[in-house]
Amino acid sequence: MAGSRFTLRQPESPARSATREAPAVVTPTPTMGVEEEFLLVDARTGAPAPRAELVVAKAADADTTRLEATRYQVESASLVAHTADELRAHLVRSRRDWTEAAAVFGCRLVAGATPVIAPAPGPLLIDAPRRHEQSTRYGDLTDTFVNCGCHIHVGTLDPETAVQVTCRLRPWLPTLIALGANSPFRDEHDTGHASWRSVVNTTWPCSGIPPRLTSVSAYEHAVAGLIATGAIKDRKMIYWDARPSASWPTVEVRAPDVATTVDEAVLLAVLVRALVADALTWIRAGEPAPDIPAEVLVAARWRAARDGLEGMAVHPERGELVPANTMVDALIERVRDHLDAAGDLPHVARTLAGLRRDGCGARRQRLVFERRHRYTDVVRYLADATEQQGG
């Protein structure tokens, strides 16, 4: 396993003394949970359908289902899971429940991160005081709320540890974006990016790669400054790709797009959990967090959003272009011991092989479009794939 600095392979950089061994795998294995955001589309036209409040009321599980910011979206939150199989069962059940509720109102559930077909003119945000205030304060920025992510929580962590773990995740966030890239189209237009959601999210004042904050006091100082300047309303508006959760004792990774399939969502979740476990081992060993320049990570993030899994990536340590799959291999090698200890290696190997064979979500959407050049085909593919999750 690599040392405390970011390295692709152990020999590349003498990150620790010759006498110090890599710390043992963290025990017990952290728990995980996933929040998935979905679009509702009209079953006939494929356009986003403003029926979220009706569908949420029909689903009627306050513990796991909720409204999102816009009238076109719903969100599910899995129960806390200890294993990949347990998490998969939660996500399959949730998607099935949403699908059934949506069908009552002539809708289909879509696990795609941006609307392929533009919504009809009309009110965008749900009728809630918080959304009215955001619309007043941020104007047309709220148009970017119509996108769907996969938010992965790993815990249980105290605030100090959550901040330190977040700091150590920074070099790997672009790779998670490339793996989860699933938004090439927006409003019947190819954006030229694999994850357009990742690009538009950075228009918010507090978004993208988190700053290198190494203590809870530094984190609280940064948040207080953002609130004082009006950049954010409160800590829930910290839209960084990774953050200490504002609601739970977890680290929340928000980088990937919503995954079309449950198996891809589970892949992202177990990789994040393994990265958190890796961070915890080095925190306990007293090793400093990697100090990767912000401009390198910004470039890496954009490249991941543009190219997805099939293109190139920016190596965080060298600042050079390498194949995106090389960075995925480096991530797997970095956390292999943690994946093995949790029993997650078979799922990772199987699902990653499928991604490398068939392409990331963005690539698969484009292949569907290329057959007949119809955006309705893309929406139908996404809806079918969202619903056909197996047991």
Mean per-residue pLDDT of the chain:
93
pLDDT score of 64: 78
Rounded CA separation 140/160 (Å): 35
DSSP character at residue 321: E
**pLDDT higher than 50, residue 10:** no
5 within a domain of the structure (yes/no): no
12 within domain boundaries: no
**12 vs 264, higher pLDDT:** 264
Is 172 among the domain residues? yes
pLDDT of 129 over the 90 cut: yes
What CATH number does the domain containing 150 carry?
3.30.590.20
Within a domain: residue 370? yes
What pLDDT was estimated at residue 22? 65
For residue 63, the model assigns a pLDDT of 61
- Asked if the model's pLDDT at residue 16 lies above 50, the reply is no
Q: What domain range is 129 assigned to?
A: 26-387
* 280 within some domain: yes
Question: End-to-end distance of the chain based on CA atoms, in angstroms?
Answer: 35
Please state the rounded mean pLDDT for residues 363-376.
98
Q: Which residues of 212-230 are buried (b: 16+ CB within 10 A; e: fewer)?
A: bbeebeebeebbeebbeee
- Residue 62: its pLDDT value, please? 55
Mean pLDDT calculated for residue range 208-227: 97
**Domain assignment of residue 212, yes or no:** yes
| Number of domains composing the chain | 1
pLDDT digits (tens, 9 = 90+) for 85-120: 999 999 999 999 999 999 999 999 999 999 999 999
The answer to whether position 263 is within a domain reads yes
Residue 192 confidence (pLDDT) above 60: yes
In a domain, 19, yes or no: no
Average pLDDT over residues 346-364: 98
Distance CA 269, CA 153 (A): 8
Percent of residues, the chain, with pLDDT higher than 90: 90
pLDDT over 70 at 13, yes or no: no
